[in-house]
């Protein structure tokens, strides 16, 4: 192992933002740093990883808001390295279950090298062999941040547990080209559903494309999109609320004006969050086979 210093540049969170999009060098900045891997001290069960792939997820914006906004993952402290899902390789270990060269999938920093806590290292253990098998079989590691990772699990578990799809039903997906949305669409197609993705004027388009109404709505947008979809839902329709991207940067909260439809049409509206659901992990093996058989026609990886 080299005793010299190597680059460890990082993206640092510098200032809270409230609306719009964060601005580089105001709300976050790139800092040039160095690290000496051989002299880096690790506490018991910590590992040091080199980050190979980073997932740039929109929900990260909710962790950069003011402290009066609650977030299930917590807010980034000012001065901290931004973090999200990553694929990394272990370069140093003080953990008996991890050795140099092992592949890591889990939360890591927006930096070249990150020290992973014992808790995070333990949580990532089930994915270690899975990543190796994928790589050995010619599946790109980046897939494990998409179809073979959190977005894939979120898509399947949300659709299966809440949507309860039946062959012949119609599903509408907002942000159908996103990491989760595109997987929802592919699974729904395999299950025999009529799949409709979002367009510009969805109000009129839905009336034309779905004249018999919509049975399942997988929503990652909320706001005006939800407002226009609700009148087009059938009785006993199921709504999976997986995100609210239209509200992450808005200056004011959009008030839903058609929510009375939830009552009149007996619509089941469910918020959904999948943090490595155990069922979802089992389903990754199913996705692995589908990817190998090229049953998915993915737009984004």
Q: How do residues 186-197 score in pLDDT, each as one tens digit? A: 899 989 999 998
Longest Cα–Cα distance of the chain, Å, equals 69
Question: CA 21, 23, 25 angle in degrees (round to 5)?
Answer: 160
Neighbours of 207 (CB within 10 A): 12
Run of H or E including 291:
helix 278-292
Q: Does position 37 have pLDDT exceeding 60, yes or no? A: yes
- Please give the pLDDT value at position 296: 62
Is pLDDT of 299 > 80? no
Which of the two residues, 86 and 207, has the higher pLDDT score?
86
Structure tokens at 166: 């039946």
pLDDT at 156 over 90: no
Angle between helix axes 118-136 and 278-292 (nearest 10 degrees) is 20
Please list the residue range(s) of the chain that carry CATH number 3.90.180.10.
6-137
Cβ-based neighbours of 234, under 8 Å, separated by 6 or more: 212, 213, 214, 215, 265
What confidence tens digit (pLDDT) does each residue in 55-75 have? 988 788 888 877 665 666 788
Q: Give percent of the chain with pLDDT exceeding 90.
A: 52
Q: What is the per-residue pLDDT for 126?
A: 84
Residue pLDDT, tens place only, 232-262: 999 999 999 988 888 776 667 788 899 899 9
102-129 pLDDT tens trace: 999 999 999 999 999 999 999 999 888 8
pLDDT confidence bin for 300, thresholds 50/70/90: very low
Q: Is residue 2 a contact partner of residue 103, using CB atoms and an 8 Å limit?
A: no
Q: What's the CATH class of domain 150-276+281-292?
A: alpha beta
**Confidence label for 146 from pLDDT (cuts 50, 70 and 90):** confident
Mean pLDDT of the chain: 87
Q: Map tokens 């190796």 to a residue.
A: 132
pLDDT above 50 for 198: yes
Is the pLDDT at 228 greater than 70? The verdict is yes
Q: Name the pTM for this structure.
A: 0.77
Residue 93: predicted pLDDT: 98
Out of 92-96, 140-144, 278-282, which region has the weakest mean confidence (pLDDT)?
278-282
**End-to-end C-alpha distance for the chain, whole angstroms:** 33
Select from 220, 174, 163, 179 the least CA-distant residue to 200. Answer: 174
Which pLDDT score, from 0 to 100, does residue 301 have?
35
Start-end of CATH 3.40.50.720 domains in the chain? 150-276+281-292
| Closest alpha carbon to 9 in 41, 34, 38, 27 | 34
Find out if CATH 3.90.180.10 is the number for domain 6-137: yes
């Amino acid at each position: 192992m080299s005793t010299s210093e190597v680059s460890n540049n990082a993206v640092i969170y510098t200032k809270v933002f409230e609306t719009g999009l964060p601005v580089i060098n105001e709300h976050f900045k790139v800092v040039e740093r160095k690290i000496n891997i051989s002299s880096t001290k690790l506490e018991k069960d910590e590992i040091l990883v080199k980050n190979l792939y980073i997932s740039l997820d929109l929900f990260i914006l909710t962790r950069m808001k003011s402290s009066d906004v609650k977030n299930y993952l917590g807010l980034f402290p000012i001065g901290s390295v931004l973090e999200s899902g990553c694929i990394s390789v272990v370069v140093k270990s003080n953990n008996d279950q991890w050795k140099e060269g092992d592949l890591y999938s889990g939360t890591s920093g927006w930096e070249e090298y990150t020290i992973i806590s014992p808790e995070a290292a333990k949580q990532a253990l089930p994915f270690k062999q899975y990543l190796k098998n994928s790589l050995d079989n010619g599946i790109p590691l980046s897939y494990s941040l998409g179809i073979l990772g959190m977005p894939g699990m979120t898509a399947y578990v949300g659709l299966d547990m809440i949507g309860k799809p039946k062959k012949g039903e119609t599903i509408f997906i907002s942000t159908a080209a996103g990491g989760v949305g595109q997987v929802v669409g592919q699974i729904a197609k395999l299950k025999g559903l009529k799949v409709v993705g979002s367009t510009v004027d969805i109000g009129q388009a839905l009336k034309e494309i779905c004249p018999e109404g919509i049975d399942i709505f997988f929503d990652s947008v909320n706001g005006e999109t939800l407002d226009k979809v609700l009148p087009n839902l059938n009785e006993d329709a199921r709504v999976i609320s997986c995100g609210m991207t239209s509200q992450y940067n808005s200056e004011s909260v959009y008030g839903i004006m058609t929510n009375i439809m939830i009552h009149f049409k007996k619509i089941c509206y469910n918020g959904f969050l999948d943090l490595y659901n155990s069922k979802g992990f089992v389903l990754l093996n199913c996705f692995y086979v589908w990817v190998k058989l090229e049953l998915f026609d993915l737009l984004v990886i």
